[in-house]
């Protein structure tokens, strides 16, 4: 079993504030939660290996994408570090047998999901593909499925985990906290979360044969509501995008990687506006 692991930070146990996960203007809590983040990833790897995973690639997919404490991970795993990856949170996933999403969070607008957002909250107000509202987990899983890689396991708050399971019932999940609001949560302890993730990862691989691919049927229509009119002004200049409203654009293609790269272009170019 070759395992691809995409890790985010907002879904880590105890996280309920941007200061805890912001590497660029580090608050003292960032160093603490960076360690908890690394330990949850390490726990997922340990559980997967107990169930037979051999080759593990980790994509540090949070913020600047260089948060994991590399020397606290197993010595034989490989890690993708750094931002500006063409496929962002699911870079280089081709050829793996299954995927884990560790520390994930809900889509922007989720009423009960801590720190909910979809990639860049200052740019993306809503993402829909073929009419279906998408979180990061949704769009990332769809790209993985294009390469034949099913999502097996997700961890985070209850809204996030159960939201993914509503779209992909075969995905095993570990809930590490209950969202009270956007900036508050009822969380289990880091040690309890790591133990639960270790066991959840083992169970996810044990059930891997039940997994399915999650794909959008072509033509794939991506509709994006942007945060500001001026962002739509910029995005509408990209070939293939249609302006559908003051803050909304639409892009249609038959190829999921093309859709995904167009989405990446939107949140990067939109940030410049």
Q: Indicate if 43 and 80 belong to the same structural domain.
A: yes
Query: How many other CB atoms are found less than 10 A from the CB of residue 120?
Result: 16
Residue range 165-202, pLDDT digits in tens: 999 999 999 999 999 999 999 999 999 999 999 999 99
Q: Indicate if 112 and 233 belong to the same structural domain.
A: no
The domain that holds 18 is classified in CATH as: 3.40.50.10780
Residue 244 placed within a domain: yes
Is residue 111's pLDDT more than 90? no
Report d(CA 176, CA 131) in Å as an integer: 30
Is residue 273's pLDDT more than 90? no
Q: Indicate if 172 and 259 belong to the same structural domain.
A: no
Beta partners for residue 143, in sequence order: none
The domain that holds 240 is classified in CATH as: 3.30.1360.130
| Contacting residues for 66 by C-beta, under 8 A, at least 6 apart | 23, 60, 81, 82, 83
Is residue 231's pLDDT more than 90? yes
* SS3 assignment, position 139: helix
pLDDT interval class at 224 (50, 70, 90): very high
Q: Quick check: 1 and 95 in contact, CB under 8 A?
A: no
Percent of the chain with pLDDT over 90: 96
Residue 109 placed within a domain: yes
Describe the crossing of helices 136-146 and 256-272 by its angle, rounded to 10 degrees: 140
Give CA separation, 80 vs 25, 72, 87, 93, in Å. 22, 15, 12, 11
Is residue 207's pLDDT more than 90? yes
Contacts of residues 48-53 at CB distance under 8 Å and 24 or more positions apart, as own/partner, are 48/1, 48/3, 48/5, 48/100, 48/201, 48/202, 48/204, 48/205, 49/74, 50/198, 50/202, 51/1, 51/201, 51/202, 51/203, 51/204, 51/205, 51/206, 52/1, 52/205, 53/1, 53/2, 53/3, 53/205
- Domain around 261: 220-272
Tokens of 54: 């051999």
Give CA separation, 117 vs 104, 121, 136, 174, 258, in Å. 10, 5, 8, 20, 22
Number of domains in the chain: 2
Residue range 63-86, pLDDT digits in tens: 999 999 999 999 999 999 999 999
Domain boundary among 166, 190, 210: 210
pTM: 0.97
Beta partners for residue 181, in sequence order: 184
Q: Indicate if 256 and 150 belong to the same structural domain.
A: no
Mean confidence (pLDDT) of the chain? 97
């Amino acid at each position: 079993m070759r395992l691809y692991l995409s890790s985010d930070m907002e879904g880590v146990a105890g996280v309920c504030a941007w200061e805890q996960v912001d590497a660029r203007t580090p608050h003292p809590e960032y160093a603490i939660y960076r360690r908890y983040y690394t330990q949850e990833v390490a726990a997922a790897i340990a559980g997967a290996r107990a169930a037979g995973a051999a080759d593990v690639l980790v994509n540090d997919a949070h913020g600047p994408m260089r948060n994991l404490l590399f020397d606290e991970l197993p010595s034989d795993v490989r890690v993708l570090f750094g931002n500006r990856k063409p496929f962002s949170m699911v870079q280089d996933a081709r050829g793996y047998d299954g995927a884990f999403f560790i520390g994930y969070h809900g889509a922007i607008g989720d009423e009960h999901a801590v720190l909910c957002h979809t990639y860049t909250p200052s740019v993306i107000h809503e993402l829909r593909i073929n009419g279906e509202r998408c979180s990061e987990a949704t769009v990332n899983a769809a790209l993985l499925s294009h390469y034949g890689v099913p999502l097996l396991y997700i961890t985070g708050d209850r809204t996030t985990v159960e939201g993914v399971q509503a779209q992909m019932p075969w995905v095993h999940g570990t809930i590490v906290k209950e969202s009270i609001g956007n900036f508050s949560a009822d969380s289990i302890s880091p040690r309890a979360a790591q133990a639960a993730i270790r066991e959840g990862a083992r169970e996810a691989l044990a059930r891997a044969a039940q997994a399915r691919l999650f794909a959008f049927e072509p033509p794939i229509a991506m509709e994006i509501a942007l945060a500001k009119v001026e962002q739509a002004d910029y995005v509408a200049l990209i070939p293939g995008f249609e302006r559908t409203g003051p803050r909304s654009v639409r892009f249609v293609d038959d190829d999921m990687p093309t859709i995904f790269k167009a989405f990446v272009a939107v949140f990067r170019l939109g940030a410049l506006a």
